[in-house]
């Protein structure tokens, strides 16, 4: 049976053990699922290398990488938002996880929907790399060293990106440029940039370029303030998805977790979930976390955490924009059991999001921390909704739906909202 035949699978809570005899002992092989792209394999091998640093794990487990192509990897002729599909980069992998063919999946967190399919959860989130976007100039242009910023590119220059979020924001700031869709893995996109005539620059995630050791191709990084380009929810972070309540895998993964990253990304994912946004909507964020302590810095209970967010929703063409900022401060021990009655709009400080966007609550020391992070995201989203963000997002979805209908009638029609 093919791992892609999702209709035939029966759900299993635990995968059958895969045992190998090593000398006098017995080890279990943990099978780690990954997309078949070069970047995905690098990220998965990074997780495996981290796990192998723990001698207590290597005494019990071997680690095997299992790769497969996803729907998102196969669709190369259109913007992903126009497919109308969810879980484009996760579906085949989740099917294999459900069946027990693999034990966990390494994802770019930004690819994971804020509502996971039943039976799955996020068992680990690693320390975040750069969340920012980076501009890569065509080699011939970069060598000439003429341009230090997008504003320096000549009028009519074409910039490629697969992100509606980037396009909507950058069209507001750089109306003299033409932004068009570009698909394919990073190698493919760089080849299209350097060997073709269509693009003078492309925009990619800085974290992905660095993980592939392509730092030298980064012409400049898009600063959220200077370039007015907020990053994607979860961008730069790696997550590991497991079967729900798989205590063995939670134990295996426990040393990988970075609490600050978990809290900031939970706030972002809660923000996106409350907005009912996704890959087909231009939504950007920036999030920061800082800690202050009393004079007794050894007393964890006296630490105060400040979590700040800036959220933005735009129309597809970037003509309309709604944004807001919000911060909250909280400690490791909640007041009134962590459930105060103050709120904003439809958001109360209570457990509205029971599953924390699919993140297992045990991977953070204190559930209260996750409640506060989730609350901030929902609170900021509600502030934008009160300003009209829902209508803006619904309009985006309607336009995309019409484009999808046109694609069915006219093959390879140009995506009007990503091309001037």
* CB 137 within 8 Å of CB 201: yes
Residue 201: strand, helix, or coil: strand
Q: What is the DSSP string of 326-369?
A: EEEEEESS-SGGG--S-EETTEESS--STTGGGB-GGGSS-HHH
3-state helix, strand, coil in the chain (%, to 5): 40, 25, 40
CA separation, residue 2 to residues 9, 15, 17, 104, 150 (Å): 10, 17, 20, 18, 46
Task: Say how far apart CA 120 and CA 240 lie, in whole Å.
Answer: 11
Query: Could you say which of 5, 62, 73, 111 is catalytic?
Result: 111
Cα–Cα nearest to 220, from 346, 158, 133 = 133
Q: At 273, which helix (H) or strand (E)? A: helix 259-275
Burial of 143: CB neighbours in 10 Å, binned 0-12, 13-18, 19+:
exposed
Q: How many CA atoms lie within 13 A of 12 on its CB side?
A: 15
Q: How many beta carbons lie within 10 A of that of residue 226, not counting itself?
A: 11
Our answer to whether residue 292 is catalytic in this structure is no
Q: Which residues pair with 304 in a beta bridge?
A: 292, 331
Give the residue ranges of DSSP H helices in 35-82.
38-52, 55-58, 71-74
Task: Say how far apart CA 52 and CA 62 lie, in whole Å.
Answer: 9
Q: How many CA atoms lie within 13 A of 193 on its CB side?
A: 30
Active-site amino acid positions: 111
């Amino acid at each position: 049976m093919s791992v892609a035949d999702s209709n035939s699978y029966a759900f299993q809570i635990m995968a059958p053990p895969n045992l190998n005899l090593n000398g006098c002992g017995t080890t279990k092989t943990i099978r780690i699922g990954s997309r078949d792209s070069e970047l995905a394999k690098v990220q998965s091998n990074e997780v495996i290398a981290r796990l192998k640093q723990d001698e207590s794990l290597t005494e019990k487990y071997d680690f095997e990488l299992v790769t497969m192509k996803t729907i998102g990897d196969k669709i190369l002729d259109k913007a992903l938002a126009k497919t109308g599909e969810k879980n484009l980069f996760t579906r085949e992998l989740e099917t294999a996880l459900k069946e027990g063919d693999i034990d966990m999946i390494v994802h770019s967190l930004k690819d994971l929907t804020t509502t996971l399919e039943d039976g799955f959860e996020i068992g680990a989130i690693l320390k975040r790399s750069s969340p920012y976007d980076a501009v890569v100039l065509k080699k011939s242009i970069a060598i000439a060293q003429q341009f230090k910023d997008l504003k320096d590119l000549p009028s009519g220059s074409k910039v490629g990106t697969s992100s509606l979020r980037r396009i909507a924001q950058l069209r507001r700031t750089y109306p003299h440029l033409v932004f068009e869709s570009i698909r394919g893995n990073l190698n493919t996109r760089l080849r299209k940039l350097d060997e073709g005539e269509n693009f003078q620059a492309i925009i990619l995630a800085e974290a992905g370029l660095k993980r592939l050791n392509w730092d030298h191709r980064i012409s400049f990084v898009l600063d959220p303030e200077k370039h007015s380009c907020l990053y994607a929810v979860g961008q730069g972070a790696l997550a590991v998805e497991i079967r729900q309540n798989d205590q063995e895998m939670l134990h295996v993964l426990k040393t990988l977790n970075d609490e600050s990253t978990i809290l900031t990304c939970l706030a972002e994912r809660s923000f996106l979930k409350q907005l009912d946004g996704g890959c087909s909507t231009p939504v950007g964020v920036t999030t920061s976390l800082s800690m202050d302590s009393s004079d007794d810095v050894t007393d964890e209970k006296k630490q105060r955490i400040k979590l700040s967010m800036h959220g933005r929703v735009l129309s597809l063409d970037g003509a309309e924009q709604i944004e807001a900022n919000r911060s909250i401060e909280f400690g490791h021990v909640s007041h009134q059991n962590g459930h105060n009655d103050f709120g904003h709009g439809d958001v109360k400080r209570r457990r509205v999001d029971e599953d924390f966007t699919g993140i297992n609550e045990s991977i953070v020391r204190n559930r209260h921390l996750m409640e506060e992070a989730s609350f901030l995201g929902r609170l900021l989203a509600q502030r934008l909704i009160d300003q009209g963000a829902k209508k803006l997002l619904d309009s985006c979805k309607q336009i995309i739906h019409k484009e999808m209908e046109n694609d069915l009638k006219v093959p390879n029609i140009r995506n009007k909202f990503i091309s001037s």
